[in-house]
């Protein structure tokens, strides 16, 4: 069934989505939901989904609500009846697909991080900016910018409510690979993922630090660690383990398990970051705190509908962190949802991302985060990896 989300008299934009796993499922929900929740200048038609294997892709099309399915993304990019290409694949194919789609005149939404290297991100940005001159729009999927609480925080900082930003403190903690038996999945292979926790979840907190403060990082000092350096190969681990055979064949983990780094922003603020997949017990523990000369805020994704704000201008006897429940109709994105107190979830950030993308296309506006903003994050990721590899970054402490 083709789902038409026609906006009065204007044909919907026809979408081809490449990828159907976790991000593909989240994006599919967003394409289905955004035109039904927000009043948008253009709707979306879920025309075709693409994957590597026919049977799995066909099943995904039926489950996720796509009219057609394909295993040939190059054919989709060339179709005249496709307006948008949504890239939900591992990082090693972002550049090839996004560049081909932009050069074919398709608007592109590309998952984060933009590419696997700075060189890829630079090429993608150049192609995107040339395409923008032809009215072709592009966005990179830093979905956490679309958390209402963090959009509110950005507004507060921009309005001067925190004064001069002095500290940014950001963390993203997961624990899904603490078990040494977890196989050597694509996210643990540099040639596919580009990097490990750093590029996967560190990219989010780097982008958020720059988004909420409006300040770019201008330098970092870093260390990364791979705690488990070899893991069972996926095919071997599932096959032999199931058959009770010999130990699975092992493969090298070629990415970081954790990255810890600090930086300085162009405004002189000090920033500290931790991105790890080894914070046992933390499932998706993302948080950020900003301290300014006139106040602070902190945010914890596990309480994603709340923003905690400290107003430093209140007399100390009456001061304290105040909890804002970010569910009022005039809070960012809430106009489309429920009455106050009816909280939102992770998937809403993707619906907001798609709604903004459709609005920008319909209004002939360049979306944000742009590929150039994605390139800035890529440059920070690269600087973290180079800093971590440099000998000079570390001053040993005698332990005798
Ligand atoms: C895996 O770490 C992952 O799916 C990330 O790739 C997403 O960007 C994040 O939102 C949730 O965790």
Span 152-197, pLDDT tens digits: 999 999 999 999 999 999 999 999 999 999 999 999 999 999 999 9
Q: Is residue 130 in a domain?
A: yes
Give Cβ neighbours of residue 139 (< 8 Å, ≥ 6 apart). 108, 109, 110, 353, 356, 357, 360, 367, 368, 369, 370
Which of 111, 144, 177 is at the close of a domain? 144
Domain boundary among 85, 116, 144: 144
201 lines ligand 1 (CB under 6 A): yes
Please give the Cα distance from 66 to 1 (Å, whole number): 8
Per-residue pLDDT, 149: 98
Peptide bond connecting 320 to the previous residue in cis, omega within 30 degrees of 0: no
Q: Are residues 68 and 202 in the same domain?
A: no
Q: 164 alpha carbon to ligand 1 midpoint, in Å? A: 31
CA distance 216 to 376: 8
Instruction: State the distance from the centre of ligand 1 to the C-alpha of 312, rounded, in angstroms.
Output: 34
For the chain, helix, strand, coil in percent to 5 are 40, 25, 40
Read off the CATH number of the domain in which 110 is found: 3.40.50.720
Q: How far, in Å, is the centroid of ligand 1 from the Cα of 315?
A: 41
Helix, strand, or coil (residue 233): coil
Residue 4 falls inside a structural domain: no
Q: Is the CB of 257 under 6 A from ligand 1?
A: no
Q: Is 8 a member of any domain?
A: no
pTM over 0.85: yes
Q: Which one of 122, 144, 166 terminates a domain?
A: 144
- Does residue 113 have a cis bond before it (omega within 30 degrees)? yes
Q: Supply the pLDDT for residue 299.
A: 98
- CB of 147 shorter than 6 A to ligand 1: no
303 and 352 co-located in one domain: yes
pLDDT digits (tens, 9 = 90+) for 377-399: 999 999 999 999 987 777 777 77
The Å distance, Cα 32 to ligand 1 centre, comes to 21
Q: Among 201, 207, 285, 381, which is best to mutate for testing ligand 1, by the most ligand atoms less than 8 A from CB?
A: 201
Q: Which residues pair with 111 in a beta bridge?
A: 141
Q: What is the number of the ligand 1 atom nearest to the C-alpha of 204?
A: 8
Neighbour count for residue 333 (Cβ, 10 Å): 21
Task: Decide if 6 is inside a domain.
Answer: no
Q: Is 385 in the pocket of ligand 1 (CB under 6 A)?
A: no
Task: State whether 338 and 293 are in the same domain.
Answer: yes
Closest atom, ligand 1, to C-alpha of 176 = 2
pLDDT confidence tier of residue 3, bands split at 50, 70 and 90: very low
Q: Say yes or no: CB of residue 200 within 6 Å of ligand 1.
A: yes
Which ranges in the chain belong to alpha helices (H)?
Answer: 22-37, 54-64, 73-78, 94-103, 118-132, 148-158, 190-193, 197, 203-213, 234-243, 346-362, 371-389
Contact criterion met (CB below 8 Å) for 334 and 327: yes
Q: Are both 259 and 378 inside the same structural domain? A: yes
pLDDT tens digits along 271-307: 999 999 999 999 999 999 999 999 999 999 999 999 9
Query: Residues 103, 156: one domain?
Result: no
Q: What percentage of the chain reaches a pLDDT higher than 90?
A: 91
Tokens at residue 260, please? Answer: 């810890």
**Domain-located, residue 5:** no
Q: Are 166 and 390 in contact (CB under 8 A)?
A: no
Co-location of 227 and 297 in the same domain? yes
Contact by Cβ (8 Å): 387, 221: yes
Range of the domain at 328: 147-395
Residues 304 and 255 occupy one common structural domain: yes
Residues 113 and 155 in one domain: no
Collect all residues with Cβ–Cβ distance below 8 Å to 71 and sequence separation of at least 6.
Answer: 50, 51, 52, 53, 54, 57
Separation of 363 CA from ligand 1 center, angstroms?
30
Same domain, residue pair 116 and 189: no
- Mean pLDDT calculated for residue range 200-205: 98
Query: What atom of ligand 1 comes closest to residue 22's alpha carbon?
Result: 4
Rounded to whole angstroms, how far apart are CA atoms 359 and 296? 32
292 with 363, same domain: the answer is yes
Tell me the β-bridge partners of 49. 17, 69
Contact indicator for 293, 269 with CB cutoff of 8 Å: no
Residue 224 in tokens: 């990364």
- Rounded to 5°, the CA angle 326-330-332 comes to 60
> Token digits for 133?
């001159």
Residue 360 inside a domain? The answer is: yes
Token pair for 324? 């804002």
pLDDT of 33-86, one tens digit each? 999 999 999 999 999 999 999 999 999 999 999 999 999 999 999 999 999 999
pLDDT value of position 125: 98
Please tell me the predicted confidence (pLDDT) of residue 398. Answer: 75
Tally of domains within the chain: 2
Q: What is the distance between the alpha carbons of residues 324 and 375, in angstroms, rounded to a whole number?
A: 33
* 330 and 246 in a common domain: yes
Q: Is 280 in the pocket of ligand 1 (CB under 6 A)?
A: no
Is 156 within a domain?
yes
Instruction: For residue 85, give the DSSP letter.
Output: E
Backbone dihedral angles phi then psi of residue 160, each to the nearest 5 degrees: 80, 10
CATH code, 382: 3.30.360.10
Q: What pLDDT sits at residue 239?
A: 53
Q: Do 313 and 187 belong together in one domain?
A: yes
Residue 377 lies in a domain: yes
Long-range own/partner contacts, residues 94-101 (CB < 8 A, 24 or more apart) = 94/120, 94/124, 95/120, 95/121, 95/123, 95/124, 97/18, 97/73, 98/124, 98/127, 98/128, 98/138, 98/371, 99/123, 99/124, 99/127, 100/74, 101/77
pLDDT digits (tens, 9 = 90+) for 321-347: 999 999 999 999 999 999 999 999 999
pLDDT at 245: 57
């Amino acid at each position: 069934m083709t789902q038409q989300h026609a906006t009065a008299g204007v044909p919907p934009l026809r979408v081809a989505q490449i990828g159907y796993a976790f991000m593909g499922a989240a994006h599919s929900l967003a394409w289905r939901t955004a035109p039904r929740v927000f009043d948008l200048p253009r709707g979306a038609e879920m025309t075709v989904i693409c994957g590597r294997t026919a049977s799995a892709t066909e099943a995904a099309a039926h489950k996720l609500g796509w009219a057609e399915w394909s295993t040939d993304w190059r054919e989709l990019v060339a179709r005249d009846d496709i307006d948008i290409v949504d890239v939900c694949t591992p990082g090693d194919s972002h550049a090839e697909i996004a560049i081909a789609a932009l050069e074919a005149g398709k608007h592109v939404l590309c998952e984060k991080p933009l590419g696997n290297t700075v060189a890829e991100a630079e090429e993608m940005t150049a192609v995107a900016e040339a395409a923008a001159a032809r009215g072709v729009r592009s966005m990179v999927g830093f979905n956490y910018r679309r958390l209402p609480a963090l959009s509110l925080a950005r507004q507060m900082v921009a309005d001067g409510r925190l004064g001069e930003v002095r500290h940014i403190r950001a963390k993203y903690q997961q624990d899904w690979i603490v078990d040494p038996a977890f196989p050597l999945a694509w996210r643990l292979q540099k040639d596919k993922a580009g990097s490990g926790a750093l590029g996967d979840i560190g990219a989010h907190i780097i982008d958020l630090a720059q988004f909420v403060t409006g300040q770019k990082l201008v330098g970092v000092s870093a260390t990364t660690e791979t705690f488990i350096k070899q893991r069972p190969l996926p095919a071997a681990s599932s096959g032999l383990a199931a058959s009770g055979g010999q130990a699975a064949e092992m493969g090298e983990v070629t990415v970081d398990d954790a990255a810890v780094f600090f930086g300085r922003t162009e405004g002189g603020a000090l920033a500290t970051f931790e991105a790890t997949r080894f914070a046992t017990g933390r499932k998706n523990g993302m948080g950020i705190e900003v301290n300014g000369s006139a106040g602070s805020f902190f945010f914890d994704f596990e309480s994603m509908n709340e923003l905690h704000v400290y107003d430093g201008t209140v007399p100390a006897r009456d001061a304290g962190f105040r909890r804002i429940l970010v569910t009022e109709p005039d809070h960012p994105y809430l106009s489309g949802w429920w009455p106050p107190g009816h909280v939102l979830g992770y998937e809403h950030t993707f619906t907001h991302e798609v709604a903004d993308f459709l609005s920008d296309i319909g209004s002939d506006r360049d979306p944000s985060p742009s590929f150039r903003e994605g390139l800035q994050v890529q440059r920070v990721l690269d600087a973290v990896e180079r800093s971590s590899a440099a000998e000079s970054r570390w001053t040993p402490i005698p332990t005798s």
